[in-house]
């Protein structure tokens, strides 16, 4: 077989695969998002921890858990500062989360900013690990978006080690897309694909 025919065959097979995936997207693509979600039903805990990011949803879920009596206090990781925060243009992530929690009825004295300076999920896990050193028996609900729960659980398990069993994850919804339509919305497409790339980096240890 000539090189030209071989290239044509490869392109034809690739095109057929892409067409097949596109035609079956309603069946193949939703499971990609559902697989990322390992959050469970909330259960009674001592604390609920809000992971930074998506302040439009995550702190609202945490506040609802406190108001429902499922957690007594809220843990918020202190985030690494940025120039726009230092210049007073934007509030820090932990400050914004605190404002939302108070606005949703959580008393300020029930909000605990964790020590440290985090800029990643791994940093958030380390902040919780340090906190559990002084509260070794505490049980914690961790709130994050549904597509982030699997990677977050893996990271927290690696960092917390024997104490990982004290933590469970609660899935927060997302504004603008759902697991069954994520590929139709730019925000959803970027979130899910990015999460798979981050999972791959975590697995290979980059």
The tens digit of pLDDT for each residue in 112-169 reads: 999 888 889 999 999 999 999 999 999 999 999 999 999 999 999 999 999 999 999 9
Q: Is the pLDDT of residue 76 over 60?
A: yes
Average pLDDT over residues 12-17: 47
What's the pLDDT score for residue 205? Answer: 76
For the chain, the structural domain boundaries read 3-34+178-204, 37-172
The tens digit of pLDDT for each residue in 78-105 reads: 987 666 665 566 778 899 999 999 999 9
Tell the burial category of 103 from Cβ atoms under 10 Å away from its Cβ (0-12, 13-18, 19+).
exposed
Average pLDDT, the chain: 87
Please report, rounded to a whole number, the percentage of residues in the chain having pLDDT higher than 90. 69
What's the pLDDT score for residue 177? Answer: 93
Instruction: Output DSSP code: residue 186.
Output: H
Residues near 179 by beta carbon (within 8 Å), at least 6 away in sequence = 30, 33, 34, 37, 146, 147
Contact 54, 96 (CB under 8 A): no
Distance CA 123, CA 159 (A): 9
Distance CA 193, CA 175 (A): 17
Domain 37-172: CATH class, spelled out: alpha beta
């Amino acid at each position: 077989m000539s090189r030209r025919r071989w290239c044509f065959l490869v392109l034809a097979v690739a095109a057929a695969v892409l067409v097949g995936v596109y035609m079956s997207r309603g069946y193949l693509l939703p499971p990609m998002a559902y697989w990322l979600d390992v959050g469970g039903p909330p259960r009674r805990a001592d604390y609920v921890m809000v992971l930074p990011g998506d302040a439009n949803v995550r702190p609202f879920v945490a506040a609802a858990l406190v108001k429902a009596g499922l957690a007594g206090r809220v843990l918020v990781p202190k985030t690494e500062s940025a120039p726009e925060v230092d210049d007073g243009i934007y509030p820090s992530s932990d400050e914004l989360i605190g404002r939302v929690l108070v606005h949703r009825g959580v008393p300020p004295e029930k909000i605990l900013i964790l020590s440290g300076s985090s800029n990643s999920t791994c940093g958030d896990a380390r902040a919780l690990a340090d906190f559990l050193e002084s509260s070794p028996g505490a049980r914690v609900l961790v709130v994050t978006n549904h597509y982030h729960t699997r990677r977050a659980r893996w990271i927290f398990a690696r960092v917390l080690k024997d104490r990982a069993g004290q933590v469970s994850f609660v899935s927060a919804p997302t504004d603008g897309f759902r697991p069954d339509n994520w590929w139709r919305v730019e925000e959803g497409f970027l979130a899910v694909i990015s999460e798979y790339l981050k999972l791959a980096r975590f697995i290979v240890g980059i």
